[in-house]
Structure 1
Amino acid sequence: MVEREKEHLPRDDYLNRLRNGELDISLRKNALHWIFKACTHYNFRELCLYSAMSYFDRFFSVYELPGDKAWAIQLVAVACLSLAAKIEEVNVPSTVDLQAGEPKYLFEGKTIQRMEIVVLNCLNWKIKAYTPCNFIDYYLRKMNDGDFPSGSKITRSLQIILNTIEGIEFLEFRPSEIAAAVALYVSGDMQEKDIDKAVSVFTGLEKDRVVKCLELIQEMKSIRSSATNVGNASISSSEPHSPNGVLDAACLSYRTDGKTVGSCPSSSHTSHKSVLGDWEVEKWKRSHALSMKKLC
């Protein structure tokens, strides 16, 4: 897993592009904001949430979205969560019902399915979960002489892992490194020799990187406030008008099987179809065909 996780990471320059503004970090925050709310609404597990954001980061790092279109990032977020839920969850709502948490835009089911294919192709269909959640139990057991860790320690570890999603600085580290750092953190105060001994049992990891990640976790002023800040990600009020086929979520209206569900009184969008049209998806594919070959 430590070897294979390297094939399931964002592009190498992703973090720097977020730092220098080449990629709009607010788009990532908005996507995380909605995914977090939707997962909470449906009580999805931590692995599903982290996997969805992993797909999003990998996609966002290589695919150039249409400029100034907030609906595009929302559609990608829905597609990523839909893929993660189908793999990690037992009870999965329909793609239309998945759009909980008061998103600004709603999309028809077949539109989300088309976007899923775009995401899958960009990720080369490598969607096996390699997240800190997959490593944490093993590392905690290693540090506990092979014994199963307590439920409270696992719960605390998962909470910390979720809080690392928001901070882009953690994108510098691989999932296994984050899990190892979290395992060290929940074990309490450790001397240098204890850290050396612990890291030595984490096969394939570099001590310096694990310690650096541990220090970053320790620097978080408040894990609880960090988690709360996810729900406070602001969305710009100057959103562009919806393209043909995308409705404002405020209308609470979409189409399924040829029938309109919900209503949008006194809205200029009532004449629009609630679907991102084939022409739009095809335009994405054509306009980015060359760059996709180079990046994906």
Structure 2
Amino acid sequence: MEDLNSSVSTQSLICQEDHAVDDGVVADDDEVIDSKLEMSIISNGSVGSEPEESYIDILVSKESTFASEDSSLSGDAWLKCARADAIQWIMRTKDYFGFSFETAYLSITYFDRFLTRRSIDKEKSWVVRLLSVACLSLAAKMEECIAPALPEYDTDECRFESDAMRRMELLILSTLDWRMSSVTPFAYLNSFASELHVPNEVDKLVSRSVGYIFAIIEDINLVDYPASTIAAAAILAASDGRLTNNLLRSKLNILSSCGAIENESVMYCYDLMTQESHEEPVPPDSCICSESSMNCAAGNRSSKRRRLQL
């Protein structure tokens, strides 16, 4: 894993507290980012161009191209807590701007892929917030009809110059090799729901599945679990959160006919989802990296409970 400081000076990404965000003229970097992201959307948007392959087969094939490129995230406790805090910020900002669930999920995917390739010093934890802003901004440019300008993002206690945010966007793009059009679980949900032969319940299942997906998003590294795996687990949890192992494997066999589904990983995600859905509520508590790990865990459980109510 490459250290963030080895290839870019964090001085250029400096977090300026108590200073206003620079909302001056947009630099040429924005035009470069927008034009190349547009090419990424066009080059990866031809799902229906190969009629001999099924829709699911093409999605599975596309997501498999990302499976071998990354390694697992660092297990540092502070980074896990910082990641949870970043995800909560992303979800709040998604609601503020009215972004889609796909945008939020895609931004967290960028976040995880980036951290499998670069490390961040604990002493520079503010870089995590800058990273989350840039990831969400890039995801919005990929998914939303109108993406907010960088100064419009509320970064809470941090204030970043627009130029610093653009530099982070470019660093993310170069780190991920400009491969930004990732498959998300939402692309599978309708097909999986239909495969379970509940024609009158498809919309309801899909809606419930979204909550289950975001219920475990803080617990798993999205690099380690393909979108098809998470989608299958969410559909099964939405259809019945108390399936026996035999029934679960039987339903998995049905979904496996749609494409290559990793059964053991699906069962693990299903267990996580159903455990969170039955968890007792706990008092709200924010996940602040400087606080104890006990407070961090309590905040995570509370936010998961809220996400299940989506």
- Fold shared by both chains (TM-score > 0.5): yes
Name the aligned partner's letter for residue 239 of structure 2.
S
Q: CA deviation at 1:13?
A: 2.8
Among 71, 76, 91, the residue aligned to 1:36: 91
Task: Indicate the residue corresponding to 2:166 in structure 1.
Answer: 113
In structure 2, the residue matched to 1:166 is 218
| Structure-1 separation of matches of 2:259 and 2:229 | 11
Q: 1-side partners of 2:221 and 2:172: how far apart?
A: 24
Aligned-partner Cα distance in 1 for 2:252–2:168: 45
Deviations 1:61-92 (A, max 9, x none): 11122441122111111100000011111232
Letter in 1 for 2:287: A
What residue is the counterpart of 1:137 in the other structure?
190
Name the amino acid aligned to 1:233.
C
Find the counterpart in structure 2 of residue 47 from structure 1: 102
For 2:236, which of 180, 184, 193 is the aligned residue? 184
Q: Does 1:195 align with 2:254?
A: no
Matched, 1:236 2:295: no
> In the alignment, which residue of structure 1 is the partner of 2:271?
215
The amino acid of 2:91's aligned partner reads: F
| TM-score after normalising by structure 2 | 0.65
Instruction: Evaluate the alpha carbon distance shift between residue 169 and residue 61 of structure 1 in structure 2; reply closer, same or farther with a 3 A threshold.
Output: closer
Identical aligned residues as a percent: 25
- The answer to whether the aligner puts 1:12 opposite 2:74 as a matched pair is no
SS, match of residue 181 in structure 1 = helix
**Residue deviations 1:84-125, cap 9 Å, x none?**
01111123211110x22x522122223211211100110011
Alpha carbons 2:196, 2:251 under 8 Å: kept = no
Q: Cα–Cα, structure 1 residues 48 and 225, in superposed 2: closer, same or farther, change >3 Å?
A: farther
Give the 3 Å change call, closer, same or farther, for CA 171–23 of structure 1 in structure 2. farther
Q: Give the Cα–Cα distance (whole angstroms) in 1 for the partners of residues 278 and 111 of structure 2.
A: 26
Aligned residue for 1:55, secondary structure, equals helix
* SS of equivalent residue, structure 1 residue 104: coil
Q: Decide whether the 8 Å contact of 1:58 with 1:123 is kept in 2.
A: yes
Distance in 2 between residues matched to 1:223 and 1:114, nearest whole Å: 41
Number of the residue aligned with 2:79 = 24
Question: Is the Cα contact below 8 Å between 1:161 and 1:178 reproduced in 2?
Answer: yes
State the alpha-carbon separation in 2 of the partners of residues 131 and 168 from structure 1.
15
- Normalising by structure 1, we get a TM-score of 0.68
8 Å contact kept, 1:47–1:88: yes
Residue 56 of structure 1, CA deviation: 0.3
Give the Cα–Cα distance (whole angstroms) in 2 for the partners of residues 110 and 130 of structure 1.
29
Once the two structures are TM-superposed, the CA of residue 30 in structure 1 deviates from its matched residue by 2.2
Give the distance between the partners of 1:214 and 1:222, measured in 2 at CA.
13
CA 1:136 to 1:121, structure 2 compared with 1: closer, same or farther past 3 Å?
same
Cα distance, 1:200–1:74 mapped onto 2, change above 3 Å: closer
In structure 1, stretches of 5+ residues that fail to align are 238-296
Structure 1 distance, partners of 2:125, 2:71, is 25
